[in-house]
Amino acid sequence: MRTVDDLVGEGVQDRYVLLRADFNVPLDGYTITDDGRIQAALPTIRKLLEAGARLLVMAHLGRPKDGEPGGRDPKMTLTPVAGRLGQLLDQRVKLAGDVVGESARSEAEGLRAGEVAMLANVRCDPRETGDADERAQLAGELAALVPGGAFVSDGFGVVHREQASVVEVARELPAYGGELVARETEVLRRLVGDPERPYVVILGGSKVSDKLGVLSNLLPKVDRLLVGGAMCFTFLAAQGHDVGGSKLESDQIDTCKDLLTEYADTLLLPTDVVVASEFAADAETRTVPVSEMADAGAGWLGLDVGPETVAAFGDALADAATVFWNGPMGVFEMEPFAAGTTGVAEKVAASSAFSVIGGGDSASAIRAAGLDESSFGHISTGGGASLEFLEGHVLPGIAVLEETERSGARPSNEES
């Protein structure tokens, strides 16, 4: 794919650039609790602004229902994002009141070289996620906001989505990959190509069914695969353990049995867990062997892996040359159930392996634990996108950049 460096080399002084970023950050009301995705976009944004671009940013936040304007709903509005981006850039970042309407046109027309503005939450326009004709229509209107402009795709967390601001707009304007997208793609191709061994994967999260694709694709390729998070309880049930009130996908038990049989030497499961009387931060807790979960009491459930498991996972990581981790080991948002995730994160950080953190909650957990991000080889911004890549799926937002490079981008609006 052509990159933002190619675009800057061609010259962007006083030229419009339409940027797709992933600013779907976690919020507590109007307060951003983890600005990692905004920070990750800064290299591309600064490069464009320093080169004199007139930068118009598209992003989404949450999942607005069709027809919802976003407005002042803290779950929808990009106001906190615009404010934080402005702080980091040391300039005011204006936010349009709509996606492609009068306010958006006004903000775009008012941009000067080296300035940046944002459109309203792009998912507030239902055409963003509509059918092909609707997406193409919205993409045309987005492109019309930046006459003579170019498109830069730097929202890796959305490149697995068939959406107007990700795919169709790349066919409307000369298209380039931002620094983040280029780096993420390079790193993940390294993992699916010929990674240095031993290659160890750590998977956590809620459901086996959500990770079944990546499990099936990676198990034949890795040296060890460590399972934590709520998904481990379905595996433990497949081993014959009574998991009490723990989260369980009964319809996946047979699948887990098959995987445990076929990959007995590869899969490593927890040997102890932290159980709680209820799903609450102030619940009564105990650390027990996995064989004694049901003995804790009726309704008790597992919410984290225990210290023995953290130590065993650390041993499995000791000689690793490549590590990929996606999904927390427990309910790390609650302090009593954060130790497993923090402990495994510390083991990965201490490893000499090339380590890739697969975005989402894993990245948030690392920041919440206060670990030095430079201790990890790469922290992805796109959990879902990275998993789909490792499952072997084609990512539409990457494919279109490579497609437009091969075919030649269509003329910009002023040239057509």
- Please give the annotated binding residues for ATP, written as ranges: 211, 302, 333, 359-362
Q: Break the chain down into helix, strand, coil percent, rounded to 5.
A: 45, 15, 40
Q: How many of the other CB atoms lie within 10 Å of CB of 107?
A: 21
Annotated binding-site ranges = 22-24, 37, 60-63, 123, 161, 211, 302, 333, 359-362
Annotated binding-site ranges for substrate = 22-24, 37, 60-63, 123, 161
Q: Which of 177, 360, 382, 383 is catalytic?
A: 360
Amino acid at residue number 338: A
Cα 360 from chain centre: 5
Give the torsion through C-alpha atoms of 299, 302, 307, 308, to 10 deg.
90
Number of H helices, E strands in the chain: 14, 17
Q: Which of 105, 207, 247, 286 is catalytic?
A: 207
| 384 is known as an active-site residue | yes
| CA angle (177, 183, 188) in 5-degree steps | 115
Q: Which of 83, 86, 377, 384 is catalytic?
A: 384
| 360 is known as an active-site residue | yes
The helix/strand/coil state of 176 is: strand
Q: Which of 2, 15, 20, 37 is catalytic?
A: 37
226 with 203: CB under 8 angstroms?
yes
Q: Tokens representing 327?
A: 């999904």
Q: How many of the other CB atoms lie within 10 Å of CB of 131?
A: 9
379 with 366: CB under 8 angstroms?
yes
Task: Please give the positions annotated as active site.
Answer: 37, 207, 360, 384
